[in-house]
Amino acid sequence: MEVKRVSDVVWGIQQEHPMRVPGRIFASEPLMEAVLRDRATVQVANVAHLPGIVEASYAMPDIHWGYGFPIGGVAATTVADGVVSPGGVGFDICCGVRLIASGFTEADFDKQRATIMAELDRRIPRGIGKGAIAPGGLISDILHRGAAAALQHGYGWESDLERCEERGVSKGAKPSLVSDKAVARGKGQIGSLGAGNHFLEIQVVDQIHDDEAAAAYGLAEGMVVVMIHCGSRGLGHQTCTDQLRLMGNAMHRYKIEVPDRQLACVPVQSPEGQQYLGAMAAASNFAWANRHILAHEARHAFARAFGTSPKHTGMHLVFDVAHNLAKIETHEVDGRPIELCIHRKGATRAFEPGHPDLPADLRAVGQPVLVPGSMGTASWVLRGAVGNPAFASAAHGAGRVMSRKKAKAHQTGSEVRVRLEDDGISVRPGSVKLLSEEAPYAYKDVDAVADVCDQANLAAKVARLRPVGVVKG
């Protein structure tokens, strides 16, 4: 399979039978070298075989090997005669990022650093297995109504919903399709980070690249912000597992053939397709609520440390956006609007300025796109750009460049912690041993990823964020 350079930051995979579309990868030359070593290009080509896929099988600059789809993969299939594939969403359904601004400066944080980190350490459940902020009895309401249910039960602020993708609730949720096993796993995890690359990070805005967008988002240079990265925990993982089992059996009835069994799929309009979308939406509602509750607890941690109320912290929500979803959206294809099922697997929705689905106060500048780095590296706030070439999608993070096994062999968790603390980043890990799996050297250069997003018109730079404290699973 040959990969050819199309432009400075675009690479192509030629369409060959039985591929239905070509492949398109957004990457600089150094980033592309890592992609080729990872062989994720094979998965980009495999996705191009999906029935009903249009335009191309896309991959963002943080692309790396995943389940079925590459992480960083984007595929649009027609609702009328295309398919939906759980591999295009992933096991951590509706994993995403929430960014909270504040009224504090870095100097303020440094004065109360120990107290803030101790409060977060005490309040934020993390790691594998159980641990929750909210009681398990809320699970049914949360699966139905997402962040709105958490709000009604006393978590967060009404204004938060305006700054969430889909107002923090996925349409078409069918909680009855979420298995008892999935519900049981979720009950003990409502309001928790989990493990792996999930985190709650305190950051400082150290660069502003777009004054107008930054002002609209409520960001200013020197401001302390809080970024939360997590998803649907065990409930989402179990829901994906359950649905894959059903879908793999159904594929044969629809006579669908794909080059990789991990690309199991069924027609969007089929009973099985609608069942997956309903179960996925319910699991997504868990994720929206999960981040909402964690943000509530972060506000209280800062308030206690500074001896004030949460309302006086200035900790307003910038935005909450998912990067593991399949959504029905209308986009223009061959000059006409068409209803599509947009699979974003490790890719962020990036609506352009003027999009009617954006909050009124953000419409002039476009949707915030949140691109976290890794411990010890920057994160980015971008904004949706006019003329996005990949169905209004952008990168979701730095993207792994080293397996967890290799990362652990490179340094111990204790060594990673010392290095971070020496760099002025306070660390509160759920497991010191596992820190090495998520060390900065295990990830691509997030600045390079942001550069490619900007150059390829996937999303435009707004602000760069520098970490000063991290709570890690």
Give the C-alpha separation, 376 to 421, whole Å: 9
CB 102 within 8 A of CB 109: no
Give the C-alpha separation, 430 to 135, whole Å: 21
Q: How far is CA 60 from the centre of its chain?
A: 13
Give the C-alpha separation, 223 to 33, whole Å: 36
List residues with catalytic annotation: 396
Give the C-alpha separation, 72 to 69, whole Å: 8
Please state whether beta strands 426-429 and 459-472 pair in parallel, antiparallel, or not at all (unpaired). parallel
Give the C-alpha separation, 217 to 377, whole Å: 22
Q: Which residues, 6 or more positions from 133, have their beta carbon under 8 angstroms from its beta carbon? A: 123, 125, 190, 191, 192, 293, 294, 296, 297
Please confirm whether the linkage preceding 18 is cis (ω < 30° from 0).
Answer: yes
Give the C-alpha separation, 370 to 383, whole Å: 8
Give the C-alpha separation, 175 to 278, whole Å: 8
Please state whether beta strands 379-384 and 459-472 pair in parallel, antiparallel, or not at all (unpaired). antiparallel
CB 140 within 8 A of CB 357: no
Taking the CA atoms of residue 117, residue 120, residue 125 and residue 126 in that order, the dihedral angle to the nearest 10 degrees is: -40
